[in-house]
Chain A
């Protein structure tokens, strides 16, 4: 995969400005980032999933500014009992413990119906609870069905994103039980033994685990299992997201080379379109069209498997023109024995 610096240098070479006389590195990098996001949003090519676990609300800080200073940050703490809800309208629920290990000892579990969605989420594709699809609901639908939907407890059968903020998801019903979860020894570090999660016998005698049966790894193509979740009695959202953040020049675009080229076309379009020295409207339009063509190609490929009901090789060219003319059956008017 290409780094931000590599793509930037390729663009500058193609623009004939390796000496940075016309465009600055920062300007080209901003076009690359814009194109990278544009490609992700328009093609929905980055698929991922995350668990919004039905776990007791663990809270260990009072103000949001404290969060960056914590080694392990859970959620924000504002109250400890449910009767206090009527006096505080921050949308949070009571937190009656400060660390995950305390959950085993709780007599009262406060499981939140509200979940914070991942920061890089762009659009939810599908949500499941206990491996069954749950339905998205508008607030008016849910209000009509159950006026006490914010507090009614039960299995999660739907969700809504209507009124609790842009990156909040409300489960319906409010989970009545704590979800099944694995018990892992320790609070930090790498998973070293699969014994807590699976009965599989590890291959090899040393090193870290690369894969655990039943645990799907998403995100980039590399890495090791880090967060584990039990799918039963638990909520999972499948979503399309943005690409990884391009925080530094060494950051790699999470795209194969062939698609990095489309981002490059976007950046060349923007650079050549800009008024002033170096402007070339005709060439800018050319690269704009190539970026659009790239977007169409990716969209087509995302849909490819669904459309390939019949195996078809080649460039998946759909046959143009009208369908074949209707014909009489082959035996029409003939004596068939």
Chain B
């Protein structure tokens, strides 16, 4: 279902003919659908991508909002392109217990840790060399917003209805049709939960064998 079809479906369910809208504007409906797309992406972290972080000499921490973009949701795994090894996630407590002055060590990064929500740290920090390596960093993010009528959300077809339910909730809540809005919200939450299980469980089992 593309963006145009989704908008038409929302109008149909609101009984507001899309050809001559009476109450909600096209911008209202588009914003509500995009809000739903953002909400389900935020809740399930289904949109996964990666980016290359170029290492800077003598720098432990990298601001992910700046290095990547402010659509980042959560870091996943990272790969050192120079050593061809995956970085080991750790806590700074581990480092404090192992190396008293770990912040002064320079070499190829082997471990990573997060401070606050955006500050990604690498240990050891990159040395003061002419040639500095890079880290291939995988993370979950918000997908690009839907804009053209032909845009199609990347989530599987069977879950796209969640966006429509969310949009109905959002628009009816703005109209203070609270009971009806909350009914659509509960339908949306059910779909969101199913999608979360679909995203989170995809690597764990198959239908025939389950857990062997």
Contacts and interface: CB of A to CB of B under 8 A. Distances in A.
A305 B175 contact: no
Nearest to A131: B101
A67 interface: no
B57 A213 contact: yes
Interface in B105-128: 112-120, 128
Interface in A208-226: 211, 213-214, 216-218, 221-222
A97 interface: no
Contacts of A306: 89-91, 113-114
Interface stretch (A27-35, A107-115, A177-185, A255-263): A255-263
Interface string B170-207: 00011110110110010000000000110111111000
Interface residues of A, number: 59
A217 B56 CA distance: 12
Interface string A280-323: 10110010000001000110111011111101111111010000
B70 A256 contact: yes
Given A314-B200, A317-B197, A280 B114 contact: no
Interface stretch (B9-17, B37-45, B153-161): B37-45
Interface string B81-114: 0000010011110001000110110000000111
Interface of B: 38, 42-46, 48, 56-61, 63, 65-66, 70-77, 86, 89-92, 96, 100-101, 103-104, 112-120, 128, 138, 140, 142, 173-176, 178-179, 181-182, 185, 196-197, 199-204, 211
Nearest to A216: B61
A313 B104 CA distance: 32
Contact of B114 (A200, A221, A240, A305): A305
Interface string A9-45: 0000110100000000000000000000000000111
A98 to B, nearest CB: 34
A311 B77 contact: yes
B44 A44 contact: no
18 contacts: A1-B70, A43-B117, A45-B118, A125-B115, A131-B103, A213-B58, A216-B59, A218-B61, A221-B66, A256-B72, A258-B42, A283-B182, A306-B89, A306-B90, A314-B44, A314-B46, A315-B200, A319-B204
A315 B96 contact: no
